[in-house]
Amino acid sequence: MKVLKQVWNWFGSIAISFILVVFLGVFVFQSTKVMGHSMDPTLHDAQRVYVSKLSHTFNYEPNYEDIVIIDSRVELKRTFKNDLMDSPLLSLFIKGDDKHVWIKRVIGKPGDRLELKDDKMYRNGELLDEPYINEAMRANGNKQWTVPADHIFVMGDNRNNSMDSRIIGFIPLDHVLGKKLF
């Protein structure tokens, strides 16, 4: 009887620890790995980054130049189930595809008018100072975007090798899963 009680106590402790780790990973903090070279030279392939999930939990709008993780499936309506499935701990037990989680930099916020002109980015008519980009951008022509309400525009720092808002469009704020801490 004593052994059974001890096993039950161990099981309870492990279950509580598991729930706490999942809670922290979904709502507060998680680590993620950079996949690819779209954020070179700032972040490198296979580098581990730590992300605050508080902006997603409390619906904070990110700031310009913040590095954020996003759900690139912009047509998908995000639910709590998506948040659970994107949790690193649960992904150990439930095989999922995390290729939709991208790391990018915030270039435009709701209401901003963005313009790609002569291989340079402008926000609301002002040339962006972007010392973090990998190399001069080589764009195919000039383009303009106006960021709609409740969306952001993101780009990789390696502009010539990045899938970002130029291709998939604006990112709904509920698809901003977190902000890079370090």
Residues with catalytic function: 38, 104
Q: Which residue has the tokens 């004593």?
A: 2
Burial of residue 6, with CB atoms counted within 10 A of its CB: 0-12 exposed, 13-18 middle, 19 or more buried: exposed
As beta bridge partners, residue 116 has: 121, 143
The DSSP output letter for 172 is E
CB 67 within 8 A of CB 44: no
CB 112 within 8 A of CB 74: no
Residue ranges of E strands in 19-118 = 29-33, 48-52, 67-71, 101-108, 113-117
